Amino acid sequence: MPEIRQNLVTKDWVIIATERAKRPEDFKKREKQKIELPEYESTCPFCPGNEKEMSPDETLRIEKNGKWQVRIIPNKFPALSKTGERIRTVDGIKRKLTGIGLHEVVIETPLHNLTTALLPLEDVRNIIKSYKMRYNEMLKDKRIEMIIIFKNHGEAAGTSLIHPHSQIVATPVVPAQVRERFNDAQKYFDENFECVHCKILSEELKDGSRLVFETKHFVAFIPYAALSPFHLWIYPKRHCSSFGDITEDEISDFAVNLQTTLKKYYYGLDDPDFNYVIRSAPTDLKNLDFFHWYLSIVPRITKTAGFELGSGMFINSSLPENDAKFLRDIKI
């Protein structure tokens, strides 16, 4: 019989469709032939040699032996404007806010043909380090209320350029979905005297059936009520509400956990398209007892349809426990 599970963090109800559940291996990308890419592409704006022509401005650079390893630049087509004041306007039912903010691109490697899963571990560490550096710099901008770090990998995930990159967007408002989750987390804390994320982490570690990979400071697991097949969270073991407070030791450990998890996707599901996002506290909220930052990965191997849009519920055609075991058993 199908189960309807609730995700304690998102409050979403998820139908675990056991009657039509697929085997984990059925989600592999068999229909798409892999294309061999060159290490360098002359027309790629992110490849070495095109820095000044395509993107002369930099907000951050990490180098090794005189060559850049990670570059962060303003997005050429930003969703928000860097200049201007944050002005709120209310006119009857019309409410608007000036579209100020920051929108930057993290060029993760000079090599055109690699993905995060296949990068040297030091490069992944540099990517996370660059996230932290820009995150904490953006915190100083008093116009900013929310900083979102995310990666789109593959066409189905919304990427437009192949060269490995991720993005950071800082907005002048906290989105309603984020605010709602924070309110729910605070309510849970008020009623239960503990962080809902810490509770979930404790229960997942105790249960073990949905764990994928564990390191000294981080745990990767499929949530009990995963919204879609192979939807995964990576939680820090230390309670911390802001990603900007990640320590140097945790950065190194996070790099191992994130890359190993992505390798399991890469080899187990034939390099699926995916999105990941770091969910952290709004900029004006720090050292919160009720919130715990984490990274969420959503492989784009299924599509939402009318039921999800009309009901706000999700249908997951794969058992979270089976998905976790499948990834856990992938040998790297």
Q: How far is CA 167 from CA 72, 123, 135, 152, 245, in A?
A: 9, 16, 11, 8, 19
SS3 for 316?
Answer: strand
C-alpha closest to that of 295 among 229, 251, 264 = 251
Asked whether the beta carbons of 313 and 13 are under 8 A apart, the reply is yes
The one-letter amino acid at 280:
S
Tokens found for residue 127: 């990517």
Residues contacting 201, CB < 8 A, separation 6+? 219, 235, 237, 292
SS3 for 141?
Answer: coil
C-alpha closest to that of 72 among 182, 166, 180, 179 = 166
Catalytic residue among 165, 197, 217, 239: 165
The one-letter amino acid at 27:
F
Whether 165 sits among the annotated catalytic residues: the reply is: yes
Active site residues: 165
